[in-house]
Amino acid sequence: MTKRAYKYRFYPTPEQADRLARTFGCMRFVYNSVLRWRTDAFFKEQQRVGYTQASARLTAIKKLPETAFLNEVSSVPLQQCLRHQQAAFKNFFEGRAKYPAFKSKKHRQSAEFTRSAFRYRDGKRFLAKCDEPLAIRWNRPLPCDPSTVTVSKDSAGRYFVSCLCEFEPEALPVTPKMIGIDLGLKDLFVTSEGERTGNPRHMAQYAARLALAQRRLSRKKLSSKNRLKARLKVARIHAKISDCRMDRLHKLSRRLINENQVVCVESLAVKNMIRNPKLSKAIADAGWGEFVRQLEYKGGWAGRQVVQIDRWYPSSKRCACCGHILERLPLDVRRWSCPECGSEHDRDVNAAINVKAVGLAVLALGENVSGMGQVPVSSAR
Ligand SMILES: [Zn+2]
């Protein structure tokens, strides 16, 4: 059993929007004031505050007359945000993250409701202290009763519920097909079979509109109504770009996983080694990281193998036919012919074929692959 989040858009009534805005506001207040208190304890008195103490602090704050407004919203999200803060501190103390930051009103807001804080009646979902059900667009059915419901509002002003459900992944029937892919910019990826995906460059497509909206925003008077409206416009363009990108990545990763038993890909650590500062915007726009993440989890659910090649390996410069390795191959050379065996190569397809060969060798032989240099692999499942 794994857990999976099902996310739906919903349209709150004015009362619900108001109630949610207050919930988000109270959470921010609790999060930030407890964070300030913990920060003082940590830096002035060198004391680490645990979750129990933070929770006790919340109880104390709620009893104060000047902060009695905290009692008007459901207590569960307030408690949950301190749990998240605890996780943030844990990540900080264990060296995985920076020191927890204060929450801002301008960013995405979210509130987590556990099972005790929402109801499900006649196919309708109710949140604690809300009388009307949420108007959710059920674009797909929910498989079971969720254990947690997260309500969020993004910076473009859209509302979503994300329901965390138990889910039994179903392995797809085994297929003999195996594939190597070379992630790139001109095409999101090129396969060892010569298929090219193209790259719509969503960011570049909306760049002019975004620049215009940002220019207009910068001219608006600080903290005015018009500035708020202009900021929403900018956020909507950003949301549009990221929606387009995600939609495409999901479709492509789903197809690769459905069609192939094994997908071999160079890990991003390797890809980043060749990262060029001039291209970093384009790389971020292409969404390599998200794409590999999707391949991994979808592969895991479907019983497919996603092999990530972790060690640098001359995939572009090696001839896939005879193994000859070129001294150098500048980035602008898209086609080349091998001086040893005379084969004509497309740069990316040749690289993808090499990635596939290394990936399959890694799968068959385990850690070390003779004749190909040392190619340890981390996440071959
Ligand atoms: Zn050759």
- All domains of the chain in start order, with CATH: 2-167 (no CATH), 178-199+244-365 (3.30.420)
Considering only residues 185 and 351, tell me which one the structure prediction assigns the higher pLDDT: 351
* Residue 369 clears pLDDT 70, i.e. is over it: no
Q: Residues 239-245: contacts with CB within 8 Å, 24+ apart?
A: 239/154, 239/155, 239/156, 239/158, 240/206, 241/202, 241/203, 241/205, 241/206, 241/210, 244/200, 244/202, 245/202, 245/285, 245/287, 245/290
Ligand 1 centroid – CA 353 distance (Å): 13
pLDDT of the residue at 275: 58
Model confidence at 142, in pLDDT bands (50, 70, 90)? confident
**E strands within 184-234?**
189-191
Q: CA–CA separation, 189 vs 180, rounded Å? A: 10
Taking the CA atoms of 333, 338, 344 and 345 in sequence, report the sign of the dihedral they define.
negative
Q: CA–CA separation, 31 vs 83, rounded Å? A: 10
In tens, the pLDDT along 74-115 reads 899 999 999 999 999 999 999 999 999 999 988 899 999 888
Ligand 1 centroid – CA 292 distance (Å): 30
Ligand 1 centroid – CA 78 distance (Å): 64
Residues 6+ apart with CB under 8 A from 52: none
Ligand 1 centroid – CA 145 distance (Å): 58
List, as ranges, residues with CB under 5 A of the ion ligand 1: 319, 321-322, 324, 338, 340-341, 343
* Residue 45 clears pLDDT 90, i.e. is over it: no
Nearest to 161 by CA among 131, 122, 120, 106: 120
Chain center to CA of 165: 19
Distances (CA, A) of 262 to 132, 236, 269, 305, 307: 48, 38, 20, 5, 7
In tens, the pLDDT along 228-274 reads 999 999 999 999 998 998 999 999 999 999 999 999 998 876 666 55
Ligand 1 centroid – CA 316 distance (Å): 12
Average pLDDT, the chain: 88
Ligand 1 centroid – CA 1 distance (Å): 48
Stretch 34-41: mean pLDDT? 94
Q: CA–CA separation, 132 vs 142, rounded Å? A: 20
* Residue 298 clears pLDDT 90, i.e. is over it: yes
- Residue burial 48-80, b: 16+ Cβ < 10 Å; e: rest: ebeeeebbebbeebbeeeeeeebeebbbbbbbb
Q: Residues with catalytic annotation?
A: 182, 266, 348
* Residue 379 clears pLDDT 50, i.e. is over it: no
CA angle centred on 273, ends 337 and 373, rounded to 5°? 60
Give residue 293's region: left, alpha or beta (phi > 0; psi -120 to 50): alpha
Nearest to 170 by CA among 2, 296, 307: 2
Ligand 1 centroid – CA 326 distance (Å): 10
Model confidence at 307, in pLDDT bands (50, 70, 90)? very high
Q: CA–CA separation, 23 vs 78, rounded Å? A: 8
